[in-house]
Chain A
Amino acid sequence: GAGVSQSPSNKVTEKGKDVELRCDPISGHTALYWYRQSLGQGLEFLIYFQGNSAPDKSGLPSDRFSAERTGGSVSTLTIQRTQQEDSAVYLCASSSILGMGETQYFGPGTRLLVL
C-alpha cells in the first residue's frame, strides 16, 4: 500500500515485559515521527528522525523508551520493562517535504495494553 503501516495493530503484554512496535513509512519519506495517544489526552510527541541526522528524542518519557530507524526507512519503537501507564495508542507518521510546508501522514497505530 501507499500509506504508513504499523504492526502489530494490537499488543497485550504483562507489566515488566519488553515490547517492540514497528513502523513502515511511506516510500521516499525522509522524516519519521512517533507519537503516543493516551485515553482522554491529545497526541504526545515522542521522537523524530530525519534522514541521517541524530534523532530528536526530547519527547521520550523515560529511558525505558528507545527507537531506531534502520536504513532510513523502517523504524522500531522499543519499550522496556513496560508499566501500566504505558498503555496507549502509539502512532507513527512520515513526511517528505521539510520546513514550513511539511505535512505528516499517519499510520493506523498500535494499541498497547499493559496488564
Chain B
Amino acid sequence: AQSVSQHNHHVILSEAASLELGCNYSYGGTVNLFWYVQYPGQHLQLLLKYFSGDPLVKGIKGFEAEFIKSKFSFNLRKPSVQWSDTAEYFCAARGGNNRKLIWGLGTSLAVNP
C-alpha cells in the first residue's frame, strides 16, 4: 500500500539551530511530493512542492527540501530556525494519476527562543 512516513514526531530546537525533518514515501513510479505547515491556530499552508526537474526545491520562509529518488525521501531542511517556525509539519505524496494525497502523521516542531 502507498504510504508516507515521517520519522520525527516531536522535535525541539533552539533558535538558530539547523532543522531536518525526514519524510519517506512508498511509491515506485512518478510522484508529486509536498510539505505543508500548520501554525498554531491556523490552517494548513503549502510550504513547498516537488513535481519534476531540479530535485532541490526552495519554499517559503527559507525552507527547502531535496527529492532523492534512490532513497524514496523528501526531507525538509532549514539552516537556521526561528521561534516563529513553531508549527506542525506534514509531508504528503501523490503517485501516478492518483488524485488523492497520502499524508504522513506530521512532525510537531517547537523552537525555543
Binding site for B on A (CB under 8 A): 31, 33, 40-45, 48, 50, 56, 59, 91, 99-109
Contacts and interface: CB of A to CB of B under 8 A. Distances in A.
Interface residues of B, number: 25
Interface string B21-49: 00000000010101010000011111001
B87 interface: no
Given A103-B46, A109-B43, A42 B99 contact: no
25 contacts: A31-B99, A33-B101, A42-B4, A42-B90, A42-B103, A42-B104, A42-B106, A43-B101, A45-B100, A48-B99, A50-B99, A56-B100, A59-B100, A91-B43, A91-B44, A99-B97, A100-B30, A100-B32, A100-B51, A100-B52, A102-B94, A103-B46, A103-B49, A106-B36, A108-B42
Contact of A45 (B42, B101, B105): B101
Nearest to A42: B103
B43 A101 contact: no
A59 B102 CA distance: 12
Given A42-B104, A103-B49, A56 B99 contact: yes
A41 B97 CA distance: 25
| Secondary structure call for the A interface | mixed
A74 to B, nearest CB: 18
